[in-house]
Structure 1
Amino acid sequence: MKWRDATNKEMDSIQKNKTWEPVDLPSGHKPIGVKWIFKTKYDEKGNVDKYKARLVVKGYKQKYGIDYQDVFAPVIRFETVRLVLALAAQFGWPLHQMDVKSTFLNGTLKE
C-alpha cells in the first residue's frame, strides 16, 4: 500500500506538471521503455520517513539524432557544493535545506 501511494504521487506529479504527453509512435520506431525506481527515506534516527517512487525513462536506449538532438541535464558538481558549504562556514552564512519533490524543467523538445 505504501509503495502504491508513492507511485500514485509520482503519476499525479507527472500529470500535474505535464511532464509527458502521449503521442503516436512513428512507424518503424521502437518505444523507449521506462522503469520504476523505489527508495526508502529514513529520518535522522533511522526510522522510515517516507517511500519515494520515480518513473524514469531508460535513457541508455535512446539514440542521438533519432530520439534526441540535445541533452539538458543541469547538475551541480560535488566540488561546488563543498566550496559553497566551506564559504558558508567561514563567513557565517545561514544555510537551508529543502526537499524538492519534482524538479523537471519542462523543456520544450521537438523530438
Structure 2
Amino acid sequence: MDIEIEAIEKNGTWELIDRPKGAKVVGVKWVYKTKLNEKGEVDKFKARLVVKGYAQQYGIDYTEVFAPVARMETVRLVIAYAAQKGSQHVT
C-alpha cells in the first residue's frame, strides 16, 4: 500500500484539496492481489487504490467522459506511415 501511495504522489495522479461546499466526496477502496511465480508460490502482494466511480451520476457529478482508445486499424496505419517515412531523411 505504501508503494501505491508513493507512485500516486510521484505521478501527480491527484492532489489533496479542501472539499468545496456542497460537493459530494467520491470514495475509494483498496484492491489486493497476490502474484504467484511459475511454481505457484507467492511472489509478491500488490495493492491498488481505486475510486468508486459507480457512485457517481452523469450530469450531477460529471458531464463528460474521456477514455482514449486506439483502434488496431489506426495503429497499423501509423506504423505503416512511420515505416514509409523512416526510410527517407526527414528534416
TM-score range, shorter chain: 0.5 to 0.7
Q: Which residue in the other structure is 1:25 paired with?
A: 19
1:53 to 47, 66, 70: 47
What CA distance in whole angstroms lies between the structure 2 residues aligned with 1:12 and 1:39? 18
Q: 2:28 aligned with 1:34, yes or no?
A: yes
Question: Following TM superposition, by how much is the alpha carbon of 1:42 offset from its aligned partner in structure 2, in angstroms?
Answer: 0.6
Give the alignment partner of residue 62 of structure 1, picking from 18, 36, 56. Answer: 56
Which structure's CA Rg is the greater one? 2
Q: Is 1:71 the equivalent of 2:90?
A: no
How many residues are paired up?
Answer: 72
User: Which has the higher relative contact order, 1 or 2, with Cα contacts under 8 A spaced 6 or more apart?
Assistant: 1
Paired residue type of 2:65: V
Q: Give the root-mean-square deviation of aligned CA atoms.
A: 2.1
Percent identity between matched residues is 62
2:37 to 37, 43, 46: 43
- Listed one character per residue, the Cα deviations across residues 55-76 of structure 1 (whole Å, up to 9, x for unaligned) are 0110011122333222233468
